[in-house]
Amino acid sequence: MPDSSVTAASSTRLPPAKPNHDFTRRPSSKLGVFFWRQRMWIESTFVLSMLEPWEKILLLTIFFAFSLLLFTGVYKYMPQHLIFLRGRAVYYLWGQEGGERFLWQWLGLAGEGMVNASLHKEL
């Protein structure tokens, strides 16, 4: 004779096991698998799986804020710095500051009119 407590427990629906690892299950679509793999890589590399949700949000917010500041600085400062580096390269290659026409001649990008005009300036 079956025990009444066993039959009652098997007929009722049990709650899911804790912790629930639904987010670690591999999705079925290829795009979903791609993003899932990226998420798992980031979480395992930076040990985000050990943090609580509010800690993850705080850490990622700080990371994105610093990234935004870095990329904004590079975007605004880089063109100005490249012009400075071009002047330094001309100085180190030809020993003259501001002689960019030598650079254009050496690269073969100077037009005939530019070369003649620059030669007339020196004379």
Backbone phi and psi for residue 45, each to the nearest 5 degrees, phi listed first: -70, -45
Whether the per-residue pLDDT at 106 is higher than 80: the answer is: no
Among 53-67, 80-94, 96-110, which is the least confidently predicted range? 96-110
pTM, rounded to two decimals: 0.49
Residue for token pair 């073969």: 108
More confident residue, 62 or 100: 62
d(CA 117, CA 102) in angstroms, rounded, equals 13
3-state secondary structure of 68: helix
Residue 94 buriedness (CB in 10 A; 0-12 / 13-18 / 19+): middle
